[in-house]
């Protein structure tokens, strides 16, 4: 967008009441009574949740590094001595004994995650930063004409109401370039604004007024050691009236207009993942000083200039409308959709929201989005709000490369790299192996040991699964410098797996041992139930993917040829995918029964998605087996499990089934007594509780329905899983990225492509499944591929920076 247009768009966004676009606006007609009704704002570092109460307003504050706990040594250093015994038990089929040994000798030292309640043990928990409250002076007169909307196209939350006939508005956003939360309050009556603003935190904090600003500082617990230091500051700028800082609060009296600026920081050190960074208080003071010296319009424009280009990189549109949905509240729309009344814009809103939430919770140079992105009102967040790596953290980033937010994966890549050093120590301690390992739970303090329960905490491919994100980033961007920088991370993970593989006795296949299939358990033919196994299917798929990636990467980088030759041989000896008696894919090395036939994790379908070794066109038999697995598991599940299933069905080319799962993902879930997966009123995904992975996974699933580029040859497939529902038959999407570094825009009508373009960002061969009757032409109209009577795969050479047209 050019400068003039951008400025016009910014002004329109700021000056008019937010247009109620049903694909881009969340709306409430009441203040939020629960955080699952609040409107999230964020810049990847600072988060805020807007409740918009006209009398006692509460804005929940977050800072992404607000972690209790600290670096600890949780490795049981002599665990490796017991490894041969564990393996012996497994090889002899005494899995129960193996699991007992694991529980006794092979878990982490200390309290681990504190059974998911780690706020006060060294593991720590992601915590609320605190609250900004606004207590209005007039507590009695009722309010009317209430509206609270979040406009995803501008990232602004706007609340308006009337009291005694006077219109009040509150406009809030979090600035990417200035790292502040800005809240502007206006009144239609001169001198109409009187309230008291306060900062508070339930524990470990003090609040003081300093030179007219409020400052909150403190230190979090770290199991007896000094923990993370944090600081936040609030400054209020008023026009008219006056303000007084007293009793740890700022009182505003009779102002015409008011701007609150808040910033926060901690002494978390991103470079070495310790809490020895700079003192956060001077940092926060500086940030506030800089921003408060600038006019509101300047701050706002700077933020819009940073946000709009990110958000607009990909836009998705369905042309069908459902009258009335543009004036309904978001929870009302969820309720209608659940009754199967048409609202084609709701999935589009979900797509936009997922991208909005990633922009809000993942900022280059910072920590990755955690289990709740960065929006958490609790001091003991569920599961410590940590980084689970047996699906959850990975799912958070599925949407990034496809929907044009690849640069927002940087925090994830950096995070993975920071796990290498502690993971090397863990690999030595437990497996006496080279390379690095991370198991199931990780935190920003470099926790890589197994979890405290052998039944869930000993999956050993968490780190290797993370490596997929490095390889996929390369596949999407073909950024060789990135690959060179991160190749040692891949290699270290592969070296670990290579070293720990053992030969299983029946076929001589190589398998991981001991491990488990994430959080699921089996029933052995003799009735034994357990989790510990050798060679769970997911581990084998991850090994194949990672070894394959290393082999390919070493070829691209011209390095390590001897090692990868050996690795290729090892890869060929890994236990293969196998179909069981019941026609489903085996989750375990043996065709054992599922202990929980409807289990939320469907880990053995990793080979279908996210990894792409099972595809309908290359492996039809395995494809039939994964369909059967999905049929057996059923369509219900926790929020993220539903989101994964959207992706599975999209990969299977079944858009109707994928849409069915989107319906489930959008099932309304109440904030109190939630049951079953779905969406809270503010569209936060309900596990329940709130977990953001489902939002991100669902968004990735929608992208996957519209465009795919997986499989060995990464053929671009347009509309591979478009639902037959009428609302989806006409639409357009722009800015979807593919493997091989192409960017696709396309529009369709009656379910068929009408027009598409493919931008080649790196040059090289492009392979596309060309729809029947369509041709590809290049920049000067030269024909690259002729139309044919049926859809077929065509390949043509592309030039970097050139857009190719399909029509
Ligand atoms: C995984 C899942 C749980 C939950 C937790 C945070 O381990 O099995 O359902 O999502 O992470």
Span 94-145, pLDDT tens digits: 999 999 999 999 999 999 999 999 999 999 999 999 999 999 999 999 999 9
Domain range 729-806, its CATH number among 3.30.565.10, 2.60.40.1180, 1.10.10.10, 3.30.70.1380: 2.60.40.1180
What is the CA(381)–ligand 1 centre distance, in A? 13
Region of poorest pLDDT, from 73-87, 104-118, 260-274, 534-548: 260-274
Taking the CA of residue 638 as reference, the ligand 1 atom at the shortest distance is 9
Q: Which pLDDT band holds residue 651 (cuts at 50, 70, 90)?
A: very high
What is the CA(753)–ligand 1 centre distance, in A? 39
pLDDT at 13: 40
Q: Averaged over 345-374, what is the pLDDT?
A: 98
Question: At residue 584, does pLDDT exceed 90?
Answer: yes
**638 C-beta closer than 6 A to ligand 1:** yes
**687 C-beta closer than 6 A to ligand 1:** yes
pLDDT at 12: 42
| Cβ within 8 Å of residue 241, ≥6 positions away | 191, 193, 194, 252, 253, 254, 255, 256
**459 C-beta closer than 6 A to ligand 1:** no
Spatial distance between the Cα atoms of 518 and 584, rounded to a whole number of angstroms:
18
Q: Averaged over 287-297, what is the pLDDT?
A: 97
Angstrom distances, CA of residue 189 to CA of 164, 186, 194, 241, 795: 10, 9, 12, 12, 66
Q: Which pLDDT band holds residue 226 (cuts at 50, 70, 90)?
A: confident
**613 C-beta closer than 6 A to ligand 1:** no
Fold match between domain 3-68+128-311 and domain 729-806? no
**386 C-beta closer than 6 A to ligand 1:** no
Taking the CA of residue 456 as reference, the ligand 1 atom at the shortest distance is 7
pLDDT at 373: 98
pLDDT at 223: 85
Region of poorest pLDDT, from 44-53, 238-247, 656-665, 681-690: 238-247
Q: Averaged over 727-734, what is the pLDDT?
A: 98
- In 51-120, alpha helices (H): 83-91, 95-105
Q: Which pLDDT band holds residue 595 (cuts at 50, 70, 90)?
A: very high
pLDDT at 3: 46
Q: Averaged over 405-427, what is the pLDDT?
A: 98
What is the CA(601)–ligand 1 centre distance, in A? 9
pLDDT at 247: 83
Spatial distance between the Cα atoms of 491 and 510, rounded to a whole number of angstroms:
19
pLDDT at 780: 87
Q: Which pLDDT band holds residue 621 (cuts at 50, 70, 90)?
A: very high
Higher pLDDT, 357 or 2: 357
Percent above pLDDT 90 for the chain: 94
Q: Which pLDDT band holds residue 606 (cuts at 50, 70, 90)?
A: very high
Q: Which residues pair with 169 in a beta bridge?
A: 160, 186
Torsion of CA 641, 644, 645, 651, to 10 degrees: -170
Q: Which pLDDT band holds residue 599 (cuts at 50, 70, 90)?
A: very high
pLDDT at 312: 98
The SS3 of residue 638 is: coil
Q: Which pLDDT band holds residue 14 (cuts at 50, 70, 90)?
A: very low
Q: Which pLDDT band holds residue 272 (cuts at 50, 70, 90)?
A: confident
Q: Which residues pair with 795 in a beta bridge?
A: 767
pLDDT at 248: 87
Q: Which residue has the tokens 């998911």?
A: 116
Question: At residue 802, does pLDDT exceed 90?
Answer: yes
Question: At residue 570, does pLDDT exceed 90?
Answer: yes
Q: Which pLDDT band holds residue 17 (cuts at 50, 70, 90)?
A: very low
What is the CA(392)–ligand 1 centre distance, in A? 7
For the chain, what is the mean pLDDT?
A: 96
**388 C-beta closer than 6 A to ligand 1:** yes
Please tell me what DSSP assigns to residue 369. P
Question: At residue 696, does pLDDT exceed 80?
Answer: yes
Report pLDDT digits (tens) over 28-57: 999 999 999 999 999 999 999 999 999 999
Query: Which H or E run contains 253?
Result: strand 249-255
What is the CA(528)–ligand 1 centre distance, in A? 24
Q: Are 511 and 567 in contact (CB under 8 A)?
A: no
The SS3 of residue 344 is: coil
Taking the CA of residue 691 as reference, the ligand 1 atom at the shortest distance is 10
**257 C-beta closer than 6 A to ligand 1:** no
* C-alpha atoms less than 13 angstroms from C-alpha of 285 in its C-beta half-sphere: 11
**266 C-beta closer than 6 A to ligand 1:** no
**710 C-beta closer than 6 A to ligand 1:** no
Taking the CA of residue 382 as reference, the ligand 1 atom at the shortest distance is 6
Q: Where are the domains of the chain?
A: 3-68+128-311, 729-806
Q: Are 646 and 347 in contact (CB under 8 A)?
A: no
Q: Are 141 and 167 in contact (CB under 8 A)?
A: no
Q: Averaged over 68-75, what is the pLDDT?
A: 97
Q: Which CATH architecture has domain 3-68+128-311?
A: Distorted Sandwich (2.70)
Q: Which residue has the tokens 């001198």?
A: 191
Q: Are 235 and 260 in contact (CB under 8 A)?
A: yes
Whether the ω angle into residue 688 lies within 30 degrees of 0, i.e. cis, is yes
Angstrom distances, CA of residue 33 to CA of 131, 147, 681: 15, 14, 11
Q: Averaged over 506-531, what is the pLDDT?
A: 97
Residues in the chain: 807
Report pLDDT digits (tens) over 235-254: 999 999 999 998 889 999 99
Question: At residue 11, does pLDDT exceed 70?
Answer: no
Query: Which H or E run contains 606?
Result: none
């Amino acid at each position: 967008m050019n400068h003039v247009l951008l400025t016009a768009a910014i002004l329109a966004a700021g000056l008019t009441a937010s247009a109620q676009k049903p694909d881009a606006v969340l709306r409430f007609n009441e203040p939020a009574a629960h955080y699952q009704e609040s409107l999230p704002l964020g810049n990847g570092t600072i988060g805020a949740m807007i409740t918009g109460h006209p009398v006692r307003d509460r804005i929940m504050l977050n800072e992404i590094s607000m972690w209790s706990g600290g670096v600890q040594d949780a490795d049981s250093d002599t665990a490796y001595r017991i490894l041969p015994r564990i393996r012996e038990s497994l090889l002899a089929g005494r899995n129960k004994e193996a699991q007992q040994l694991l529980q006794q000798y092979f878990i982490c030292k200390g309290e681990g995650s504190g059974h998911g309640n780690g706020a006060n043990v060294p593991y720590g928990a992601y915590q609320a930063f605190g609250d900004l409250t606004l207590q209005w002076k007039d507590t009695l007169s009722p309010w009317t004409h209430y509206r609270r909307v979040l406009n995803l196209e501008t990232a602004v939350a706007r609340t308006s109401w009337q009291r005694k006939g006077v219109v009040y508005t509150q406009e809030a956003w979090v600035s990417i370039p200035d790292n502040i939360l800005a809240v502007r309050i206006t009144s239609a009556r001169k001198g109409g604004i009187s309230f008291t603003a306060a900062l508070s935190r339930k524990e470990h904090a003090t609040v003081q007024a300093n030179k007219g600003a409020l400052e909150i500082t403190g230190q979090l617990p770290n199991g007896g050691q000094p923990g993370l230091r944090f600081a936040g500051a609030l400054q209020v700028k008023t026009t008219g009236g006056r303000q007084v800082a007293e009793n740890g609060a700022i009182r505003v009296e009779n102002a015409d207009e008011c701007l609150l600026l808040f910033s926060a920081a901690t002494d978390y050190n991103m470079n070495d993942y310790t809490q020895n960074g700079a003192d956060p208080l001077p940092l926060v003071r500086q940030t506030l000083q800089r921003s408060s010296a600038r006019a509101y319009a300047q701050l706002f424009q700077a933020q819009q200039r940073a946000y709009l280009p990110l958000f607009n990189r990909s836009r998705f549109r369905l042309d069908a409308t459902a009258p009335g949905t543009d004036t309904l509240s978001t929870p009302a729309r969820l309720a209608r959709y659940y009754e199967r009344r048409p609202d084609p814009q709701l999935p589009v809103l979900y797509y936009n929201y997922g991208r909005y939430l990633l922009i809000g919770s993942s900022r280059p140079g910072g920590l990755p989005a955690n289990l709740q992105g960065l929006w958490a009102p609790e001091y003991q967040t569920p599961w410590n709000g940590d980084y689970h790596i047996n699906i959850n953290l990975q799912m958070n980033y599925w949407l990034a490369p496809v929907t044009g937010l690849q640069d927002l994966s940087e925090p994830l890549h950096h995070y993975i790299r920071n796990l290498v050093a502690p993971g090397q120590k863990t690999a030595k301690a437990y497996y006496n192996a080279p390379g690095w390992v991370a198991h199931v739970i990780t935190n920003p303090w470099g926790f890589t040991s197994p979890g405290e329960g052998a039944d869930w905490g000993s999956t050993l491919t968490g780190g290797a699964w993370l490596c997929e994100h490095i390889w996929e980033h390369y596949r999407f961007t073909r950024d060789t410098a990135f690959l060179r920088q991160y190749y040692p991370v891949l290699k270290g993970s592969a070296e670990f797996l290579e070293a720990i593989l053992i030969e299983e006795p029946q076929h001589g296949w190589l398998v991981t041992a001991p491990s488990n299939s994430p959080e699921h358990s089996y029933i052995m033919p003799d009735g034994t139930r357990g989790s510990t196994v050798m060679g769970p299917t997911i581990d084998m798929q991850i090994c194949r993917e990672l070894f394959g990636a290393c082999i390919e990467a070493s070829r691209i980088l011209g390095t390590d040829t001897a090692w990868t030759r050996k690795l290729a041989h090892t890869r060929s000896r890994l236990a293969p995918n196998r179909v069981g008696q019941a026609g489903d894919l085996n989750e375990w090395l043996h065709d054992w029964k599922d202990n929980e036939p409807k289990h939320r994790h469907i880990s053995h379908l990793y080979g279908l998605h996210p990894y792409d070794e099972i595809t309908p066109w290359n492996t039809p038999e395995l494809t039939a087996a994964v369909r059967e697995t999905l049929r057996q598991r059923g369509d219900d599940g926790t929020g993220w499990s539903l989101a994964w299933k959207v992706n599975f069905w999209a990969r299977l080319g079944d858009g109707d089934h994928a849409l069915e799962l989107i319906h489930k993902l959008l099932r309304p879930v109440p904030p109190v007594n939630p049951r079953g997966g779905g969406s809270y009123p503010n569209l936060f995904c309900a596990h329940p509780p709130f977990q953001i992975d489902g939002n991100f996974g669902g968004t990735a699933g929608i992208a996957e329905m519209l465009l795919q580029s997986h499989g060995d040859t990464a053929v671009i497939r347009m509309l591979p899983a478009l639902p037959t529902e009428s609302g989806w038959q006409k639409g357009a999407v722009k800015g979807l990225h593919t493997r091989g570094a192409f960017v696709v825009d396309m529009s369709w009508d009656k379910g068929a492509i009408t027009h598409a373009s493919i931008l080649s960002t790196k040059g090289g061969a492009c392979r596309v499944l060309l729809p029947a009757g369509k041709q590809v032409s290049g920049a000067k109209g030269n024909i690259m591929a002729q139309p044919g009577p049926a859809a077929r795969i065509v390949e043509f050479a592309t030039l970097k920076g050139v857009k190719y047209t399909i029509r």
